Amino acid sequence: MIALIQRVSSAQVVVDGETTGAIGTGILLLLGVQKEDDEAKARRLLERVLTYRIFPDEQGRMNRSLLDCGGELLVVSQFTLAADTGKGTRPGFSTAAAPALANELYEYFLQQAALQVTTACGRFGADMKVSLTNDGPVTFWLEV
């Protein structure tokens, strides 16, 4: 399971002209699900995301987590994160989970996240327009 996280001052997802999710200060998380992923990996990744210290403390150092600062989480499914880009000029997706498994784990991730922080989301499998104001910019790749 892969998460590309970005510290944002705001972010939103629009599908067919309708805003499906929006947050203020927090993390925009692009979530990629791979074939071998399961609920245990989803829980571990969520724990890392929520406790990853990317927000500034009183001295301006990245020393606070999303949980510490009370920020919000916007989760967007993105199967292209599971792409194999090692060869050639076209990505391969043989490591990406099948849509049924990916959607199941995406929904599970969202449910678990909502138990701990204010959580918004995109729409699985949709053509989404994601906009954000990246704070920093601060962007990290997390994988479990």
Give the residue numbers annotated as catalytic, written as ranges.
78-80
* Contacts by 77-85, CB closer than 8 A, 24 or more apart: 77/31, 77/33, 77/102, 77/103, 77/106, 77/122, 77/124, 77/125, 78/4, 78/30, 78/31, 78/32, 79/32, 79/33, 80/32, 81/2, 81/4, 81/30, 81/31, 81/32, 82/2, 82/32, 82/33, 82/34
